[in-house]
Chain A
Amino acid sequence: MIKEQGVFGIFSYIDSTVQAIKKLREADFKNLRVFSPFPSHEIEEALERRESIVRFFTLTGATLGALCGLTLTILTSLDWPIRTSAKPIVSLPPFMIFVFELTVLFGSLATLLGLLINSRLRRNAPRIMYDPRFSEDKFGIAVVCKIEDIRKVEEILKLSGADEIQFEGI
């Protein structure tokens, strides 16, 4: 794996972090990774991220679940048709319970899959461009940039109020 190079600022305050993101984006540094101990709307807005595509996984899973519920109940009932209590072989009202349960089940499993795939989890513990304090009380911005831009990025981070600045892969 090629080690990424860049500058890495650690912040104590959320407003300084947001300010730094805005300034970096204005200076045309778009490859930013921001870390925070909790989800923050301010940071997300500053980064202008697109909405998560997990929703498409959810929709696909839920639709597949509903179809599975329908086919499982109908086809197995037709496969061995026994009439009970004078009810039709394909009794849709009770079958709807299975359609509902499988919609929820497949929808949830697909959402989990969507989360794991899209957030690129399931990797080993973070080693580069990470500081354990991010899960406690610090915010961080990692800027992946060319060697010649490093000074410029460092200056923006410093002026915005970064407590510490580290360099990766340099």
Chain B
Amino acid sequence: MNQESALTYSKVNHDIIRMLDKPTVKWWSLFIFDLAVLAFGLFCFLYQVYTGLGVAGYRHPVFWAVYITNFVFWVGIAHSGTLISAILYLFRARFRMSIYRISEAMTVFAVLTAGLFPIIHLGRPWSFYWLLPYPNQRELWVNFRSPLLWDVFAVGTYLTVSSIFFFVGMIPDIAAIRDRVKEIPRKIIYTILSLGWKGSTWEWGHYTRAYFYFAAFATPLVISVHSVVSWDFAMSNVPGWHSTIFPPYFVAGAIFSGLAMVITLVVPIRKIFHLEQFITIANFEGMAKMIILTSLIVTYAYVVEFFMAWYSGNPYEWGQFMYRAKGDYALFYWIMIFCNSVVPLLLWFKKVRTNIKALFIISLFINIGMWFERFNIIVISLSHDFEPGGWGLYRVSWVELGVTAGSFAWFFMFFLLFIKILPALSISEIKEILPAPTREAKAR
């Protein structure tokens, strides 16, 4: 709190709005590199559209692979944003204040990335709108009993609600930028975006109430979205997928991976923009503690999956899990266990969880581990189901890797633009946690 008390309201405005100064050469080089990777990803996708899905490494029996892995991975990343912005808001957790805007931005951009993958995965991506229920000449309606349609509604709602939440939360801060910037084009843009916000009690009254309802809606929504994503798998009878623990297992995994991604993003931003006064060690420690909790839940799920496969006496289920640990993809399985269950144990030590470098490295391990978790669930289960004659190996193709790299570039492109255009930290909420200036305190 000592660091916080050195802050004044003016300094908060100054330091956060300063982040929007003209981009440096480093920023431009990073942005151009990012666009180059994105262009390569786009090329891979167009090549796939032109040539056919065969170039995506799909071979019998594996017809869901890296693209669906990426979809689940990015939806998962999106989750901790809402956790930090909505759930921790309802619980009045003060450590969320300085990091929630970045994690909300991460949520919106991650959902934008995730939403691309089911379309990339389609043989005829231009027909994706057939998934939407609309009156058409054939009088056909979508199948509301299909988990894939549940996805469309869940992810669509999540994108809309998290975007509203993100934008509404920024209105007072955009007004603060509007009042500070002088150059004409920027002034006009921020004036339009601030919707004429004046900071009157009248506005704040409605705003805080609306914000509370957004948070109250987003909380069950975030749980529903990853539960629905898990049902994409759990509703089928493929060994390794058909499990009732999937929803809580996926939700915990999503929060786990999302928190790791928040750390991966926040550490460099904090260093580059010298935000040490705003994003303190206590913020990181709070996230590290949540990572320990979610890592334990995920590890518990890994163990329970094995236990249930054994206890059920189902030879296909048991065969699948033995194959995961000892079969052709065992390396990926053990990478997942190492990254998600072993490495986070280091966070039990206060010295580690208060060390920014260590946290950053651990977060990278978790990102990798959680990507492989989804890969293992999807690809290994499909490679080794009921009939030994139908088993087969999957090999990733360069096209899939290119599209995956492109998806990371797509995500980081939004992020790079965000930190230069919009306030990456919440100006008004940081002021809320600072002691309000009083005449009494001044007199003392």
Kindly list chain A residues whose C-beta atoms are within 8 Å of the C-beta of B191. 124-125
A94-B150, A121-B203 are known contacts. Are A58 and B139 too (CB-CB below 8 A)? no
Partner of B217, one of A52, A72, A108, A122: A108
- Which residues of chain A from 22 to 50 have a CB within 8 Å of any chain B CB? 33-40, 42-44, 47, 49
In the assembled complex, which residues on chain A have CB atoms less than 8 Å from the CB atom of B164? 108-109, 112
A165 within 8 A of B: no
CB pair B210–A115 under 8 Å, yes or no, is yes
**What band does the interface of chain B fall in when counting residues whose beta carbon is under 8 Å from A?**
35 or more
Contact partners of B161 in chain A: CB under 8 A: 104-105, 108
**A122, closest chain B residue (CB):** B195
Interface residues of B in 116-136 (CB under 8 A from A): 133
Q: Would B436 and A40 count as touching, CB distance under 8 A? A: yes
Residue of A nearest to B191 (CB): A125
A37 close to B439 (CB less than 8 A): no
Bitwise, B141-177 to A at CB < 8 A (1) or not (0) is 1111100001001101100110011001001100110
Residues of B near A94 (CB, < 8 A) are 144-145, 150
Query: Which partner residue on chain A sits nearest B161 by CB separation?
Result: A108
Interface string of A117-146 (1 = CB under 8 A from B): 011111111100010111111000000000
State the Cβ distance, A9 to closest chain B Cβ, in Å: 14
Considering the chains assembled together, what is the distance between the CA atoms of A51 and B139 in angstroms? Answer: 47
What class of interface size applies to chain A in its complex with B?
Answer: 35 or more
**B102 CB–A CB distance under 8 Å:** no
| Cβ-based interface call for A12 (8 A) | yes
Q: How far is the CA of A120 from the CA of B207 in the complex (A)?
A: 11
> Which chain A residue has the least Cβ–Cβ distance from B172?
A135
Q: Is B283 an interface residue (CB 8 A)?
A: no
B24 part of interface (Cβ distance < 8 Å) = no
C-alpha gap A95/B161 in the complex (Å) = 20
A97 at the interface (CB under 8 A from B): yes
What chain B residues lie within 8 Å of A157 (beta carbons)?
none
Chain B residues closer than 8 Å to A79, beta-carbon distance:
139, 141
The answer to the question of B420 belonging to the interface, with a C-beta cut-off of 8 Å to chain A, is: no
A76 lies within 8 A of B141 (CB): yes
B204 adjacent to chain A (CB < 8 Å): yes
Helix, strand, loop or mixed for chain A's interface?
helix
Rounded to whole angstroms, the CA-CA distance of A87 and B176 in the bound complex is: 56
Given A94-B145, A124-B191, are A54 and B160 neighbors across the interface (CB < 8 Å)?
no
Judge whether A37 and B9 touch: CB under 8 Å.
Answer: yes
A132 touches B10 (CB 8 A): no
Closest to B174 in A: A135
Contact with B along A70-91 (1 / 0, CB 8 A): 0011001101100011010001
Q: In angstroms, how far is the closest chain B Cβ from the Cβ of A46?
A: 9
Residue B276, interface by CB 8 Å: no
Complex contact A14–B202 (CB within 8 A): no
Contact A80 B438 (CB under 8 A): no
Question: Are A136 and B13 in contact, with the CB atoms below 8 A?
Answer: yes
- B residues within 8 A CB of A104? 157, 161, 217, 220-221, 224
Which B residues touch A118, using CB under 8 A? 206
A13 at the interface (CB under 8 A from B): yes
CA distance A39 to B168 in the complex (A): 14
Closest to A47 in B: B201
User: Does B194 sit within 8 A of A, measured CB to CB?
Assistant: yes
Bound Cα distance A142, B175 (Å): 19
- A55 interface residue (CB < 8 Å to B): yes
Decide yes or no: A135 and B175 within 8 Å by CB, A13-B439, A101-B153 being known contacts.
Answer: yes
Q: Is the CB of A107 within 8 A of B200?
A: no
Within 8 A of A (CB), among B1-31: 8-10, 13
Instruction: Assess whether B328 is interfacial by the CB under 8 Å rule.
Output: no
| B205 CB-CB contact with A under 8 Å | yes
- Complex: chain B residue closest to A33, CB-CB: B200
Cα(A45)–Cα(B227), bound, Å? 42
Some 18 contacts from A to B, beta carbons below 8 A apart, are A34-B200, A34-B201, A35-B201, A38-B431, A44-B204, A84-B145, A91-B145, A97-B150, A98-B153, A107-B217, A115-B206, A119-B202, A121-B196, A121-B197, A134-B179, A135-B178, A135-B179, A161-B439
Nearest 6 Cβ contacts at the A-B interface = A132-B179, A137-B9, A76-B141, A52-B209, A135-B176, A123-B196
17 extra interchain contacts, Cβ-Cβ under 8 A, other than A36-B199, A73-B144, A136-B9?
A: A14-B436, A34-B201, A37-B176, A39-B204, A52-B206, A52-B210, A80-B141, A87-B145, A97-B153, A102-B153, A104-B157, A105-B160, A112-B168, A121-B195, A126-B196, A135-B176, A136-B179
